[in-house]
Chain A
Amino acid sequence: MAELVAIDREAQPQAVRHAAWEAPFNRAQPFYLGMILYVLAALVLFASWLWKPLPLQRAAFGVLAAGAVVHTAGLAARMALQGRPPVTNLYSSAIFVGWCAVLVGIVLERLYRRGFGTAVAAACGFVSLIIAHHLTGDGDTMEMMRAVLDSNIWLATHVVTITIGYSGTFLAGMLAAGYALRRHLAPRADPATTRSLVSMVYGVICFSLFFSFVGTVLGGIWADQSWGRFWGWDPKENGALLIVLWNAIILHARWGGYVRERGLMAMAVFGNVVTSVSWFGVNMLGIGLHSYGFMEKAFWPLSTFIASQLVLMTLCLVPPLRSHASAKLTSARS
C-alpha cells in the first residue's frame, strides 16, 4: 500500500496532494454549514419584522454574511481541488447560482437597507444548496468531465457568465415572490419599501439580461470554435436565448408602460419558470449536444416548482387577500 502511494506520488504529485485535502473537505461539509446559516439568517430576519426591527435586521445580515463566507470558502476549495472553474456539472452550477444570488442580494441590502435583500439572499442560498444536495447523485460531485466540456477557458467564461445570468433571473424572481407574499400578508406595507423593491427587481433584471446575453454569445463563440457553427438551435442554446428574450420582454413591457408594479413582478416570477426549464428541463429531455446531466427524477420536483411559481404570479396580480379596507384606511390617514 505504502509502495503504491509512493509510486502515485512520484507519477502525479499534484493529484496526491489534492487527495490529501479532499478528505477533510468532504468531512467539513461547508455547504451544509452554509445552508444552516442561511436558514438562521432568514429566521432572524423574520423575527425582526415582528419585533425589534433594527438590531435584529443587522444581526440577520451578519449571519447571512457568515453564510456567504462559508459558501465562498467551500466553492474556492472545490475549485482548488479540481483545478477547474467553479461550474463543471449540474451540482456545481446549483452551488454557483446560489453563491451569485447571495452576493448580489448582499449588494442590494447594502444599497437599499430594507432587510429584503437579506431575506431573498438567504432564501436563494438555502434553496440552491438544497437543490445541490439533491443533485449529488452517487456522492461523487467532482467526477471526470465529458470530453466536450473539457476546456477550462470556456468553462471559466461562457459557463460562469451564463450561470450568473441564471442566478440574476432567479434573484429577481425571488424578490418578486417576496413581493407577492408581502402584498397578501402585510397589507399595510410601507409604499417606499414597495418602490425600492420595484427598482431592485428592475435593476436585477437589467443585470441578468446583460449576463445571460453575454453568456449566450460566448457560448456561440465556443460552438463556433469547436463545432464550426455559431448557432444551431440546439435545446440548450434555445434555453439560454429564452432567458435573454424573457428579460428583454419584461424590460420592453415596462418601458412601454404595458406593465406596472404588479405586472413587472408577475413577469419576474415567470422568469423563474423560464430559467428552471432551461437549466434542468433541457437536461431532462436528454436531447441535443448539451444534455450532459441527464436526469428523469427531476420531472416531478420541477413540475411542482413551476406550479408554485404560477400560484405566486397569480398572487402578484390579484387584490390582497387580507382585509383591504384597513389598508385603505391607513393610506387615507397618512
Chain B
Amino acid sequence: MSEQLVPVAPPAGEVSEVARLPELSPQQSHQVVELVFRFFCSLRLTLANLLLLFLAMIAGTFVNPQNDSLVNIERAFAGRTTLLWSYRTFELYDLFHSWWFTALLLSLALNLIACSIERLPRIYYLVRYPETRFDRVVGLRLKVTGAPSAISADAVSDELRRRRFSVRRTGDDIFAEKGRYSRFGVWLVHISLLLILGGGIFGRLTAFEGTVNVPQGGGQADAFIERRPDGGQFRHRLMDGKGARFFVQCDDFRLKEFEPGRPKAFESDLRLFRRMPDGSAGEELARQTIRVNEPLRYAGLTFYQASYQQLERAPRARISVLDKTTGTQQALLVAPSQPIEAADGLSYQLVDYQEDFAGLGPAVQVVRIEEPPGTPRSTDGKPSAAAKITSFWVFNKRPDFDRDNRPDRFAFRFDHITPYYATGLQIARDPSTPIVYLGCFALFGGIGIAFYTSHKRIWAHVASGKISLGGAAHRNLEAFSGEFEELCDALGVPRPAPRKGAQAAA
C-alpha cells in the first residue's frame, strides 16, 4: 500500500486551496449569480421566511414576556450554563432585536427585492406588448370559435368601447383590455413592504425611548434614562436637532380617579425651556398639558404621559399667597413645615391640617415667623430666639377670610390637600415613522388593487360572416365569466359552453 504524500502547506506564491474559490468561466459565474438570484426570488423562500417569522414571533411573545434584562436573567438562571449560553448567543432576552431576527427580516427584504426585479420587467412587457391576435393566444378558458354572425368588426369595437375597454384593431383582429394597472398591484405591495421593512431597520438603528420622573410643582429634568435589554442604562440629554440643550418642567400634575386606586385619567402641565450655557433657564420653547393619548412633541421627541408616582407619604397643600403691596398672587404646593420665604426676614410654614375645623370645613394652620431686621439666616432652619412667631388658620370655604381679617402684607388661601406626585414621562424618538407610514398607505392601495381588481382582456376575430371571441382575466375569472357572457349576449354570439371541472380561479 503506497502512501501519497500531501504537502502540508501550499507551494510558495500560492494561496491555500481552501481559501480560494474555484475559478469560474464567465458562463459559470453567470450561472452562480443566476442560482443565487433564483434562490432569493423563489416563492419557497418567501414561505419559509414567513413561517420562520411566524414561529419567531410566537417565541418572542412567550420567551421573556416581562422584558427582563440580561442581568436579571443571569441572576435567575445562575449555574444553568447551556440555557444562559443560548440566551446570550441568540440574544433571547431581546429576541426582536437579535442578530438572527434581523437576519430573517433582511432575508425577507432580499426575497422581496429579487421578486420585484424578476416580476417588474415581465409585467411591463406583458402590458406593453400584449399578444393582440386571437389565433395566437392559447389556453383561453372563455372562448367561442367560428360562430356564424353578421356583425361587423366596427360594431364589435364599438360595443367593447361602450364597455370601457381600450380597443386596438389590426385587420380582422380586435384586441381590447381594461384594468392594466391591476397587474402592478402586486408590485406596489412588494415595494411598500420593502419601505416598511427598510423603515423598520432604519428605526432599529436610530430610535430610542426612555423614562424620567419629574416632581410636580416645578420639578425639572434635562435628561432621561434608557434601559437597554442587556441590562445597561443609557442617559440621554434632552437636546434638539442642532444639539441645543433644553429641559422639561412639570408645573402641575392632576389625577382623576373613578374611586381610590382606579385612575380615570391623569395629566401633567409641561413646559420646555432652553438651557443656557451657564445652566440657567432660557426662553420657553413649548408648553402643553399632556395626557394619555395626547403627548407633547418637540424637536422629534415625544413626551408621553406614561405613569405617576407618589413621592412623599405626607400630602401637600395647594395654597395661594397674595402680596397685598404688589397685588401679585402665587400658587404653591407646599409640604408640611416647608418654609415659604415670602420676604426678607419673613417666612411662613404650614403646621397642621383639620378636615373639619369647628364645623367650618377643611383648614390649615400657618405659622408666621418674623425675624428682626439684620438677623443672619439661620443655618438649621430654626427661628432665632428674637423671632416673632404667630399662628393663624386658613379656611377652604372662606377664601377671603384671611385677606380681610388679618393685618399682614401676605394673605393666604387654601385650596385642598393632595398627595405629592411625580409625573412619569416616557420620552421617545423614532425618525423612521414617516417612511413606515408611507409604506403602510401604499400597501393599503396595493392590496386593494391586487385583491379586488383584475386585468381583463378580450380577443376577437371577425371575418367572412364568422366571429371568434376569447376572454381572460388574470384574477377572479368567475366574476369575469359573467361579464364575458353578457358581452356574448350583446354581440349575438352564443355563450361559451361551461367547462367541466373548471377550477375557480384564484
A interface with B by C-beta (< 8 Å): 144, 147-148, 150-151, 154, 191, 195-196, 198-199, 202, 206, 209-210, 213-214, 217, 220-221, 224-231, 233, 235, 238-239, 241-242, 245-246, 248-249, 252-256, 258, 282, 285, 287-288
Contact = CB atoms under 8 A, between A and B. Distances in A.
A241 B429 CA distance: 23
Contact of B54 (A198, A231, A242, A256): A242
Given A147-B266, A245-B54, A252 B293 contact: no
A242 B262 CA distance: 32
A228 B209 contact: yes
A230 B451 contact: no
Contacts of A224: 430, 433
Given A147-B263, A228-B304, A253-B47, A239 B430 contact: no
Which has the most chain A C-beta neighbours within 10 Å: B51, B62, B203, B440? B440
Given A229-B209, A235-B61, A242-B54, A256 B430 contact: no
B58 to A, nearest CB: 7
Given A147-B292, A249-B47, A230 B504 contact: no
B506 A221 contact: no
Contact of B293 (A148, A210, A287): A148
A227 B54 contact: no
B96 interface: yes
B435 to A, nearest CB: 10
B293 A249 contact: no
B47 A252 contact: yes
Interface stretch (B273-281, B340-348, B403-411, B442-450): B442-450
B282 to A, nearest CB: 25
A325 to B, nearest CB: 22
Given A148-B292, A195-B503, A229-B302, 18 more contacts: A147-B265, A150-B292, A150-B293, A210-B447, A210-B448, A214-B444, A225-B295, A227-B426, A229-B428, A230-B433, A242-B58, A245-B57, A246-B54, A252-B47, A252-B50, A258-B47, A285-B61, A288-B65
Contacts of A249: 47, 50-51, 54
B179 to A, nearest CB: 17
A229 B430 contact: yes
Contacts of A225: 293, 295
3 nearest CB pairs, A to B: A228-B302, A228-B428, A199-B504
Nearest to B441: A217
Contacts of B489: none
Nearest to B267: A147
B200 interface: yes
B478 interface: yes
A238 B62 CA distance: 11
B66 interface: yes
Contacts of B209: 228-229
24 contacts: A144-B262, A147-B292, A151-B293, A213-B443, A221-B437, A224-B433, A226-B293, A228-B295, A228-B297, A228-B427, A230-B203, A231-B200, A231-B203, A233-B96, A235-B61, A238-B60, A245-B57, A249-B47, A249-B50, A249-B51, A256-B43, A256-B44, A258-B47, A287-B65
Contacts of B44: 256, 258
A191 to B, nearest CB: 8
Interface in B29-48: 43-44, 46-47
B334 interface: no
Interface size class of B (residues with CB under 8 A): 35 or more
A202 B506 contact: yes
B156 interface: no
Nearest to A249: B50
A228 B430 contact: yes
Nearest to B193: A248
Contacts of A228: 209, 295, 297, 301-304, 426-430
B37 to A, nearest CB: 18
Interface string B300-330: 0111101000000000000000000000000
Contact of A285 (B65, B293, B306, B506): B65
B57 A238 contact: yes
Contacts of B443: 213, 217
Nearest to B62: A285
Contact of B258 (A144, A209, A238): A144
B428 A227 contact: yes
Contacts of B264: 144, 147, 150
B207 interface: yes
B478 A199 contact: yes
B65 A230 contact: no
Nearest to A228: B302
A239 B432 CA distance: 22
A226 B57 contact: no
B250 interface: no
Contacts of A235: 61, 65
Contacts of A214: 444
A255 B450 CA distance: 13
A57 to B, nearest CB: 22
B295 A226 contact: yes
Nearest to B57: A238
A217 B447 contact: no
B259 to A, nearest CB: 10
A248 B43 CA distance: 12
Given A151-B293, A226-B295, A252-B46, A217 B426 contact: no
A272 B110 CA distance: 31
Interface in B403-439: 426-430, 432-433, 436-437
Nearest to B447: A210
B167 interface: no
A192 to B, nearest CB: 10
A176 to B, nearest CB: 16
Contacts of B436: 220, 230-231
A230 B430 contact: yes
B504 A242 contact: no
Nearest to A282: B61
A226 B304 CA distance: 7
Contacts of A238: 57, 60-61
B294 interface: yes
A258 B426 CA distance: 46
A209 B302 contact: no
B53 interface: yes
B298 to A, nearest CB: 11
B47 A227 contact: no
Contact of A252 (B43, B295, B428, B433): B43
A144 B263 CA distance: 10
Contacts of B54: 242, 245-246, 249
A110 B236 CA distance: 60
Contacts of A226: 292-295, 304
Contacts of A287: 65-66
A279 to B, nearest CB: 13
A249 B50 CA distance: 6
Nearest to A207: B451
A151 B432 CA distance: 25
Contacts of A242: 54, 57-58
A230 B199 CA distance: 11
B465 to A, nearest CB: 37
A214 B440 CA distance: 8
B504 A256 contact: no
Contacts of B292: 147-148, 150, 226
